[in-house]
Structure 1
């Protein structure tokens, strides 16, 4: 069924009412989720009416409706793409066999680990962003923040449904733990490092939604290939919502750049101190933020050589990005892939079995995709006639995972000494002074159609509404 039943306590298109045990378990979890949202969701937003998009179907032609909703009343639910009749496994050792509708016992632990890790990222990003509404640059941006937040909450529901339905008591305990961990908590942090970083300002938020949500896209695309059919169907629908999150990031950074370039031309200067005094974010600071968020995000793909990645692929748990479009045998035994290694202080390429390098394959696909958006940002700078280019740093720069962890290279990938790194790191990564300056710009602007000085308005509003539409009603 593609339409969503909103008459139920938990909206769903999975016939939840036919499984009373599962329904009761999820209805028991639901109040804990609402309590988590009240405690850790967007700060001070409980009584706002927000112009939100709500999924009403999984039909691509009409899957969402828009309207003003109080966020605690948002109808979080469980939506899976329609089942594909007679779907077959199309990669790994089980290629050609029927896709699994239940969890094979021998893959139970690995599948649960994959689902929990994905599920843990969803509430983490809400927690990281919970204070941003207090410093929003416009009502338009505030609404987009809240849209991203409620959809990350729904993606948590998507993973919790799988845990409850297919993993019994273990799954129920894991679902509870997803609400007990907290981003940045010293004693009980989120599973992945990038989701324990602070997001203290809107430039960080836009970089996060461009780079880190793009990691989400690639991880979800790999899981959408899974031989475990309910996981594949769940993540395919999550990708429909994820696209907006990356749009928020790309367009947000683009608007920051546009405003900076406008002021540079008005003042006829590229002096960062003068531009900061004028209340905009200079381009070198934007580059440093880019370097930080890109390097932290590519660590999320894991070690460049991984026996787990090989196992996940061979057993059919997790495919590659665009698996169906690849022209190899989709088994990969005997195939190799080049990764970077360090020899005598230099970066060199070496060939390793492709199955063990699948994290690196996914990371390289991600890097190509990320460069496209940075090129579009550069077009904004080019259009303003300013001789400056933003660049994605080398993938060995500022790494903390795998063979490249702790290797000192500059953003171009040239190996350097520890001394040179210490001397020049403030050219390449945001300093405390940079962060303090950006935070100092974060004043709250909420009048319809008004925007903070450091960011340009968007070209158009949401869902064909005007830019000065009342996206948030403050009650």
Structure 2
């Protein structure tokens, strides 16, 4: 068991106490992190005692200890999965060589860029979600939000440790910059587009944690294959926590659907106006939110053809999702993959070198995983006897990056004219009226066991506690 010493200022399982220079540098970064949390972390939450889980070891049995804690006092720290001294690189040009414990000079810039980009997403989502506690539909949901927030903070620590330990002065400067950029800031925004979008309400939050945290799962899984062993070990542990974030999204949308279906059956109607008048979110609005969050998230995988993706793979920096389960040579030279492009106003498939299409390979893995969850949402509607089904839009819909950027495409995959897009956009993407309506439902409900009218209670509470458990003690 790889346990974590909580008596240390920065809890860790990396023998930080043996590297005084690194320890001092991280202890110098820590007050800046706390200032960042105070400035843009969960709004108004300073005195709350929140029922949070904290990692006490990195093995499957011991990583979750539950108890009430003030978020500001949460023991953020640096936790890597146990190492394997004999680990070999299992893909790319260095396949069969020993995994690296230090950064090879020729890969320094690319590795730093990968770590900074991943690190930048972690505080961004806390900033995007900072006001949601003020409109939580229940104490249970507020607790889940806060758990995600503190874990995103810990994932930031994970990346900052790698920057400080392995990248010298450049790494220290990048670690400072991670606290200076801010989601949606005009002058100093976050690096990736989806992390500058607003998360204005809880339906958006559930869609974000379902889709955008799922992007996190796939990116972290690809990095967990890395030849740079400290990065692989760090991201493997982060994946343990990421699973909860996706659970919050998937179960959250399921509960919204369950409540909407219940009201549709009680009123014997599918009229969106009547559903809204009953204080619930109609299925059309849920579908439009889905379309938006899905399309913004699949842009996060980058251009469908990318020389950087080829370089990252061949160099051993970033593998594919579940690299070890794939039955090919794990070098990929001479192999091809189909990508989409537009030719004479029509979508066509084109074979390209697989190394250059690795962003698309990861995106397609993500799409398959996302569709499976949307099918589970549809089971909620099916069980309630509602004939409507949610649908994942075509992968070329509403794209802003790559060969499909700017193409006017309907959710069902038809290329449409600019005028048809403008005429029908309000059918396909959330409108200002949709946002205003959903916002109008967002009243705070924090009495134990009580839930807002627009969402059903969960089947069970957190850590086998009852649903009406006092998850938060308000100071």
Q: Deviations over 1:156-208 (max 9, x none)?
A: 00000000000000000000000000000000000000000000100000000
Q: Hey, what does 2:463 align to over in structure 1?
A: 463
Q: Hey, what does 1:415 align to over in structure 2?
A: 415
Q: Hey, what does 2:253 align to over in structure 1?
A: 253
Looking at structure 2, the residues matched to 282 and 470 of structure 1 have their Cα atoms a distance apart, in angstroms, of 31
Indicate whether 1:225 and 2:225 are aligned.
Answer: yes
Q: Hey, what does 1:369 align to over in structure 2?
A: 369
Q: Hey, what does 1:316 align to over in structure 2?
A: 316
**Distance apart, 1:410 and its partner CA:** 0.5
- TM-score of the superposition, structure 2-length normalised? 1.00
**Distance apart, 1:7 and its partner CA:** 1.0
Looking at structure 2, the residues matched to 421 and 320 of structure 1 have their Cα atoms a distance apart, in angstroms, of 35
Q: Hey, what does 2:306 align to over in structure 1?
A: 306
Looking at structure 2, the residues matched to 41 and 273 of structure 1 have their Cα atoms a distance apart, in angstroms, of 36
Q: Runs of at least 4 residues of structure 1 off by over 2 A?
A: none
Q: Hey, what does 1:387 align to over in structure 2?
A: 387
**Distance apart, 1:103 and its partner CA:** 0.0
Secondary structure of the structure 2 residue equivalent to 1:448: coil
Q: Hey, what does 2:14 align to over in structure 1?
A: 14
Secondary structure of the structure 1 residue equivalent to 2:332: coil
Q: Hey, what does 1:205 align to over in structure 2?
A: 205
Q: Hey, what does 2:448 align to over in structure 1?
A: 448
Looking at structure 1, the residues matched to 59 and 276 of structure 2 have their Cα atoms a distance apart, in angstroms, of 47
Q: Hey, what does 2:474 align to over in structure 1?
A: 474
Q: Deviations over 1:299-332 (max 9, x none)?
A: 0000000000000000000000000000000000
**Distance apart, 1:131 and its partner CA:** 0.1
Secondary structure of the structure 2 residue equivalent to 1:50: strand
Q: Hey, what does 2:187 align to over in structure 1?
A: 187
Q: Is 1-10 or 170-179 further displaced after alignment?
A: 1-10
Looking at structure 1, the residues matched to 309 and 426 of structure 2 have their Cα atoms a distance apart, in angstroms, of 35
Looking at structure 1, the residues matched to 391 and 64 of structure 2 have their Cα atoms a distance apart, in angstroms, of 36
Indicate whether 1:91 and 2:88 are aligned.
Answer: no
Length, aligned pairs only: 475
Q: Hey, what does 1:242 align to over in structure 2?
A: 242
Looking at structure 2, the residues matched to 440 and 149 of structure 1 have their Cα atoms a distance apart, in angstroms, of 24
Secondary structure of the structure 2 residue equivalent to 1:332: coil
Q: Hey, what does 2:166 align to over in structure 1?
A: 166
Looking at structure 2, the residues matched to 9 and 252 of structure 1 have their Cα atoms a distance apart, in angstroms, of 35
Q: Deviations over 1:385-436 (max 9, x none)?
A: 0110000000000000000000011001111111110110100000000000
Q: Deviations over 1:276-312 (max 9, x none)?
A: 0100000010000000000000000000000000000
Q: Deviations over 1:36-89 (max 9, x none)?
A: 000010000010000000000001122110000000000000000000131000
Q: Hey, what does 1:41 align to over in structure 2?
A: 41
Looking at structure 1, the residues matched to 170 and 292 of structure 2 have their Cα atoms a distance apart, in angstroms, of 37
Q: Hey, what does 1:157 align to over in structure 2?
A: 157
Q: Hey, what does 1:438 align to over in structure 2?
A: 438
Secondary structure of the structure 1 residue equivalent to 2:397: coil
Indicate whether 1:426 and 2:426 are aligned.
Answer: yes
Secondary structure of the structure 1 residue equivalent to 2:348: strand
Looking at structure 2, the residues matched to 85 and 143 of structure 1 have their Cα atoms a distance apart, in angstroms, of 39
Looking at structure 2, the residues matched to 333 and 433 of structure 1 have their Cα atoms a distance apart, in angstroms, of 51
Secondary structure of the structure 1 residue equivalent to 2:269: coil
Looking at structure 1, the residues matched to 327 and 141 of structure 2 have their Cα atoms a distance apart, in angstroms, of 42
Secondary structure of the structure 2 residue equivalent to 1:352: strand
Q: Deviations over 1:439-472 (max 9, x none)?
A: 0000000000000000000000000000000000
Q: Deviations over 1:347-385 (max 9, x none)?
A: 000000000000000000000000011000000000110
Secondary structure of the structure 1 residue equivalent to 2:259: helix
Q: How does 1:272-351 map to 2 (within 5 A)?
A: 272-351=272-351
Looking at structure 1, the residues matched to 263 and 38 of structure 2 have their Cα atoms a distance apart, in angstroms, of 40
Q: Deviations over 1:73-128 (max 9, x none)?
A: 00000000000131000000000000000000000000000000000000000000
Looking at structure 1, the residues matched to 252 and 96 of structure 2 have their Cα atoms a distance apart, in angstroms, of 44
**Distance apart, 1:267 and its partner CA:** 0.4
Q: Which runs of 5+ in 2 are unaligned?
A: none
What is the CA RMSD across the aligned residues, in angstroms? 0.5
Secondary structure of the structure 1 residue equivalent to 2:221: helix
Secondary structure of the structure 2 residue equivalent to 1:145: helix
Looking at structure 1, the residues matched to 90 and 410 of structure 2 have their Cα atoms a distance apart, in angstroms, of 41
Looking at structure 2, the residues matched to 404 and 146 of structure 1 have their Cα atoms a distance apart, in angstroms, of 36
Secondary structure of the structure 2 residue equivalent to 1:403: coil
Q: Hey, what does 1:72 align to over in structure 2?
A: 72
Q: Hey, what does 2:115 align to over in structure 1?
A: 115
Looking at structure 1, the residues matched to 309 and 264 of structure 2 have their Cα atoms a distance apart, in angstroms, of 47
